[in-house]
Amino acid sequence: MTSTRTIPNSLTLQFLIFLSILISCVESSNQSTSTTAMDNGDFRLRLIDSDSPLSPFYDPNRTIYDRSTALIHRSITRLHHLQSSIKSPDYLIAAPLTSEDLDYIVNFWAGTPPSEITAILDTGSKITWFQCLPCEKCFNQTKPIFDPSKSSSYRDLTCISGPCQQLSSTSCESGLCKYGATYGDGSFSDGSLAIETFTFNTADRRSTSLLGVVFGCGHKNGGRLYKNDLAGIVSMGQGPLSLINQLNQRRFSYCLVPRGATMVSHLQIGITPLLAGKTTPFFQVEGSEHLYYLSLDDISLGSEPLHIPLKAFKPSKYQGLIIDTGTSIDILDSSGFDLVIRAVQRVMKLKEVTDPHQELELCYEGTMGDLVGFPSLTYHFVNGADLVVGSKNLFQQVADRVVCLSMLRNDDSISIIGSKSQENYIVGYDFHTKLISFGPYDCSQF
């Protein structure tokens, strides 16, 4: 069964078809293109983490220690790019597309007839984009690169269109809108801002088509980009041109199974995604409106409150706590990180040792099995919402008989709750109320 959902709002399907034929005339007269609505209903997508045997990027030759190291490298790189996007509004995308840096991928189809796209799902990006022909410069991609000239539903957007006015880092060529994205490591994507039909295969074996989705059609892409099936990014951030902000039913939730599992995680979009447990507000901060900032009350280890300095975690332009699916492990401002370190040291009974890779600060001699019964770490948010992180996610095995606290220090005031701490939780976002919720759940059953 196939359902079709429509962007823009209050237009009949007949008028949308007429609009797609005469889009240039409509844009000239209206000064904008409506891309803001989708009809009622839900759909669920499969999310695959890069460490799963189900991932096209899975490498069976990598050991659990290799994957542990990759989590750390991925988080460090991600932090650098998030900080770059915060300090420079011209950074459209927060993270580069490398084998070390992707976390969750999603497959969908673009165009009419449809072409398959494999992309990163990212809550820290401003815009959805992927590679397009003709390529002035493209990174290697084993699947065919999307060819907009073969799609009857593709339309370039003009410089006077609404989406072009909403996006930073745009330019105008022959009346058409061009976007440019630059990364902190020198990677880049440049191309045309356009609209297209996206089709998703849902978890219940149906397909759902979204008409008139604004995206970046990248004709010039380069840098440290992954050379395989990956084509781009699907944005689920707070920016006006993220996929979620182009939908009328502005609510979504995801439930992440433990990393490396042979089951898939799921993302649900629509009017009924679960908001499980207590809620806490999420915020936008000037200059980084695409990111999800949370307001932290305290952190505790077991029953011991740490009394963190709240000033360092208050949402503001260059500091605060972000929740992010593209960062693997948690990263805390030094003032909070030091309190966590001291609290763990007071409770831990294992012998303290040095990380053989010299990447994580607090390590012990032992295995993950030795941590059974170790107290959980809890993030306490305003309004009473809690995110409880058990020992399986609080620590990671980095070498034979060496376990380390799975957390990084940041001296630059930005803190991040990564995807590892969100495993086996229903994390729900409601854009109408600006609330996020955390509900413990067996995500293999979501």
Contact 13, 6 (CB under 8 A): yes
The whole-angstrom separation of Cα 315 and Cα 310 is 10
Contact 185, 100 (CB under 8 A): no
Contact 80, 57 (CB under 8 A): no
Question: What does the buried/exposed string (b/e) look like for 108-140 if buried means 16 or more CB atoms within 10 Å of the residue's CB?
Answer: bbbbbebbebbbbbbbbbbbbbbbbeeeeebbe
Q: Which amino acid is at 383?
A: N
Is the four-CA dihedral 424, 428, 429, 435 of positive or negative sign? negative
Q: Is 122 a catalytic residue?
A: yes
The whole-angstrom separation of Cα 228 and Cα 241 is 26
Q: Is 324 a catalytic residue?
A: yes
Helices (H) and strands (E) in the chain, counts: 6, 29
Residues 6 or more apart in contact with residue 234 via CB below 8 angstroms = 106, 108, 119, 120, 121, 122, 128, 243
Contact 49, 104 (CB under 8 A): yes
- Which of 49, 103, 324, 330 is the catalytic position? 324
- Which of 49, 101, 122, 330 is the catalytic position? 122
Among candidate residues 85, 80, 74, 75, the one with its CA nearest the CA of residue 126: 85
The whole-angstrom separation of Cα 37 and Cα 361 is 47
Neighbours of 25 (CB within 10 A): 10
Catalytic sites, residue numbers: 122, 324
